[in-house]
Amino acid sequence: MNAIEIQGLRKSFRSFALDDINMTLPKGYIMGLIGANGAGKTTLIRILMGLYHRDDGEVSILGLDPMKDGKRLREDIGFVFDEPKYYDFKLNKIKKIIAPFYKLWDEEQYHHYMNRFSLNGKMRFKELSRGMKLKFALAIALSHHAKLLILDEPTSGLDPVFRIELLDILQEVIEDGDKTILFSSHITSDIEKIADFITYLQLGKIIFSEDKNKLLEQYIIIQGQEKEIPTDIKNIMIHGKVTPYFYEALIPKSNHLTPHWKEEHHPTLDELMYFFEKRRISDV
| pLDDT confidence of residue 238 | 95
Number of domains within the chain: 2
Between the alpha carbon of residue 156 and those of residues 45, 84, 97, 136, 195, the distances in Å are 17, 12, 27, 14, 17
Domain that holds residue 277: 218-283
What pTM, to 2 d.p., does this model score?
0.91
Q: pLDDT tens digits, residue range 132-142?
A: 888 898 899 99
Q: Are residues 166 and 234 in the same domain?
A: no
| Domain-ending residue, one of 162, 183, 214 | 214
Which of 67-71, 87-91, 183-187, 267-271: highest mean pLDDT?
267-271
| 213-264 pLDDT, tens digit each | 999 999 999 999 888 899 989 999 999 999 888 999 999 997 667 778 888 9
Asked whether residue 274 carries a pLDDT value surpassing 60, the answer given is yes
Q: Which three-class secondary structure state does DSSP give residue 184?
A: strand
User: 20 with 79, same domain?
Assistant: yes
* pLDDT band at 284; cut points 50, 70, 90: low
Task: State the pLDDT confidence band at 57, using cuts at 50, 70 and 90.
Answer: very high
Are 126 and 201 found together in one domain? Answer: yes
Residue where one domain finishes, among candidates 214, 245, 267:
214
From 172, 191, 214, the end of a domain falls on 214
Residues facing 60 on adjacent strands: 5
Cα torsion angle, 122, 126, 130, 133, sign? positive
For 150-167, write each residue's pLDDT tens digit.
999 887 767 788 888 889
Does the pLDDT of residue 18 top 80, yes or no?
yes
Residue 190's domain is classified under what CATH number? 3.40.50.300
- pLDDT of 131 reads 82
User: Which string of DSSP letters, residue by residue, matches 112-181?
Assistant: HHHHHTT--TTSBGGGS-HHHHHHHHHHHHTTTT-SEEEEESTTTT--HHHHHHHHHHHHHHTTTSS-EE
181 and 248, same domain (yes or no)? no
Confidence (pLDDT) at 155: 77
Average pLDDT, the chain: 91
Per-residue model confidence as pLDDT tens digits over 110-133: 999 999 999 999 999 989 888 888
